[in-house]
Amino acid sequence: MKFEVQPTGTPVDAEVRGEVLANPAFGRVFTDHMVSAQWNREKGWHDARLEPYAPLTIDPASVVLHYGQEVFEGLKAYRQPDGGVALFRPERNAARMAGSCARLALPALPEADFVEACELLVRTDSAWVPSGEGSSLYLRPFMFADEVGLGVRPTDSARFLLIASPAGNYFSGPLRPVSLWLSQEFVRAAPGGTGAAKTGGNYAASLVAQQEAIMNGCDQVVFLDAVERRWVEELGGMNLFLVQDDGTLVTPALTGTILDGITRDSVITLARELGYTVEERRVDVDEWRKGASDGSVVEAFACGTAAVITPIGALRWPGGEAVAGDGQPGAVTTQLRQALLDIQYGRTPDTHGWLRRLV
Ligand code: PLP
Ligand code: COI
């Protein structure tokens, strides 16, 4: 695809931008530009451009507004020690989005075009990449059905967009262990459903459980499998690892109902290189609950692009609580978080070819 470039005539004032970059929250402020492209069955992908960030005009009868035919991605650009900027594993996001599109009956965006769109936006808005520790530029590529009509059938027209937002910690305040609510009533995804796709409906389905988590004083919800209500799956927006007292890391296997996290994959690789055994398998929630009290599960952490690696403190359910270790960030969690951040921020050699330098 050839992207036409239409720069904004009214970029955000450097001083205002500086204030945002000094203290970025998550997903509140967006950069000067966005990338967009249009697809239909006759023409395929066309009208690809970088243009000023602006509201959209869409028809009220657009398919996405009624039936949720939509997918999205999340990846980050990191400021490097020499002032340059690098993306982390963008080709993995491109491939995952293609998989999500296949599941949602949306057209595939060629992976090279996905990566090029990310590169173009980050290069253009590189002044928006923060340099503070733990800060980065979060990219949100997404695609939705914009055909007009209320018939329930796969769309003949779709739009791809890419926006970007300076990001600090996903959870407010300094890094701290988060508490999890074990959802009893609600599940996120079922076998044969859309759990492995990154589609808005999965998040919509998680919100009432997240609301329940907050009502019970927890930061996030953790879901069990839909069939036996026994196997730990993932959080509303993160994958999960347990650390056993023998140093083994355990994470739920990719069964088709959870997201194949790029952070999860990176953690598995880094942990093995650091000498840990990593098991991808089914994880019984009682293994966690009992292990936390008998000392065989010593740490738990969540991981994802937005969350990086976040220690888990308490796991709570109606009338009960289990805390792995002393509830503080554990040694293995801290070591892996540091190893990952050192690669992303270019402080250690990128031996896996995970960084794509842009500027
Ligand atoms: N699981 C869910 C449901 C997510 O939304 C995310 C975030 O993207 C993840 C896991 C972690 O995936 P990644 O590490 O690729 O960001
Ligand atoms: C991400 O980490 O990129 C996600 O999509 C998680 C989201 C819930 C913010």
Ligand 1 in reach of 304 Cβ (< 6 A):
yes
Ligand 1 in reach of 238 Cβ (< 6 A):
yes
Q: What is the pLDDT of residue 309?
A: 95
Which CATH number does 4-167 carry? 3.30.470.10
Tell whether the model's pLDDT for residue 327 goes beyond 90: no
Across the chain, mean pLDDT equals: 96
Tell me the ligand closest to 302's alpha carbon.
Answer: 1
Ligand 1 in reach of 195 Cβ (< 6 A):
no
- What is the C-alpha to C-alpha distance for residues 164 and 156, in angstroms, rounded to an integer? 27
Domain(s) of CATH 3.20.10.10: residues in the chain: 178-344
3-state SS string for the chain: CCCEECCCCCCCCHHHHHHHHHCCCCCCCCCCEEEEEEEECCCEEEEEEEEECCCCCCCCCEHHHHHCCEEECCEEEEECCCCCEEEECHHHHHHHHHHHHHHCCCCCCCHHHHHHHHHHHHHHCHHHCCCCCCCEEEEEEEEEECCECCCCCCCCEEEEEEEEEEECCCCCCCCCCEEEEECCCCCCCCCCCCCCCCCHHHHHHHHHHHHHHHHCCCCEEEEECCCCCCEEEEECCCEEEEEECCCCEEEECCCCCCCCCHHHHHHHHHHHHCCCCEEEECCEHHHHHHHHHHCCEEEEEEEECCCEEEEEEEEEECCEEEECCCCCCCHHHHHHHHHHHHHHCCCCCCCCCCEEECC
Ligand 1 in reach of 263 Cβ (< 6 A):
yes
Q: Please give the distance, rounded to the nearest whole angstrom, from the Cα atom of residue 261 to the centre of ligand 1.
A: 5
Determine the average pLDDT of the residues in 274-291: 97
Tell whether the model's pLDDT for residue 242 goes beyond 90: yes
pLDDT tens digits along 47-66: 999 999 999 999 999 999 99
Determine the average pLDDT of the residues in 175-189: 93
Tell me the ligand closest to 236's alpha carbon.
Answer: 1
Which CATH number does 178-344 carry? 3.20.10.10
In this structure, which amino acid lies at residue 162? Answer: L
With a pLDDT cut of 90, the percent of the chain lying above it is 94
Q: Please give the distance, rounded to the nearest whole angstrom, from the Cα atom of residue 260 to the centre of ligand 2.
A: 12
Residue minimizing CA distance to atom 2 of ligand 1: 237
Q: What is the pLDDT of residue 85?
A: 98
pLDDT tens digits along 190-237: 999 999 999 999 999 999 999 999 999 999 999 999 999 999 999 999
Tell me the ligand closest to 238's alpha carbon.
Answer: 1
Tell whether the model's pLDDT for residue 172 goes beyond 80: no
Going by pLDDT thresholds of 50, 70 and 90, the confidence category of residue 280 is: very high
Domain(s) of CATH 3.30.470.10: residues in the chain: 4-167
Angle made by CA atoms 298, 299, 304, in degrees to the nearest 5 = 160
